[in-house]
Amino acid sequence: MPIETEILDVTTSTCTIRCRLVQAEEVNRAKEKEQEKLRAELTKPYRPKKPVEFSIDAKSYVLDIEERLRLTQIPSIDECIHDIHGAVFVFASIDGKKTVEKGDEPDIKKKIVRLTHTFGDLDFRVISKSNEKHWYKSEYKLQVTPIDT
């Protein structure tokens, strides 16, 4: 069971801590509340004032500046609600020969889910390659623009 702790007093020689075992029902209620909050956030329409940008590691693939990618795999809202950290987005080049994944940055994942929910079609364009500081990565910056239909 989870433990809730609170530091009550700290001196140079002692520390007083209050501990409490948290009941399973309380943990489940908190988890459900968090999931409801995330569901409300993910289903809320999203119209950013400027295009969303994020970095992605293309691993062994070389992407070209201005190359366009499409989102080929996106977790459902339910999958994201249950594990936003584990959710993975898969992108492919237009010709389908290059595949890259985005599995980190939950805030970016939330934005992409919200954009997809709001617009359906999105344009992912490579706008830059990482600088020399990241020479060991094939890191590219992508920009997302909604395709308003």
- Residue range 127-147, pLDDT digits in tens: 988 766 666 668 888 998 887
CA 128, CA 123: separation in Å to the nearest integer? 15
pLDDT tens sequence across 58-76:
888 888 899 999 999 888 8
**Contact in structure between 117 and 143 (CB atoms under 8 Å):** no
Work out the average pLDDT over 23-42.
Answer: 89
Q: Does 52-146 carry CATH code 3.40.50?
A: no
Reported pTM: 0.75
Tell me, letter by letter, the H, E, C secondary structure of the chain: CCEEEEEEEECCCCEEEEEEECCHHHHHHHHHHHHHHHHHHHHCCCCCCCCEEEEEECCCCCCCCCCEEEEEECCCHHHHHHCCCCCCEEEEECCCCCEEEECCCHHHHHHHHHHHHHHCCEEEEEEEECCHHHCCCCEEEEEEEECCC
CA 41, CA 44: separation in Å to the nearest integer? 5
pLDDT at 149 over 80: no
Spatial CB neighbours of 137, under 8 Å, sequence gap ≥ 6: 57, 130
Phi-psi region of 118 (alpha: psi -120 to 50; beta: other; left: phi over 0): alpha
User: How confident is the model at residue 17, as a pLDDT?
Assistant: 93
Residue with tokens 């992407």: 63
**How crowded is residue 54: how many other Cβ atoms within 10 Å of its Cβ?**
18
Range(s) of the chain covered by CATH 3.30.70: 52-146
Residue with tokens 């600088």: 131
pLDDT tens sequence across 107-131:
999 999 999 888 888 889 999 887 6
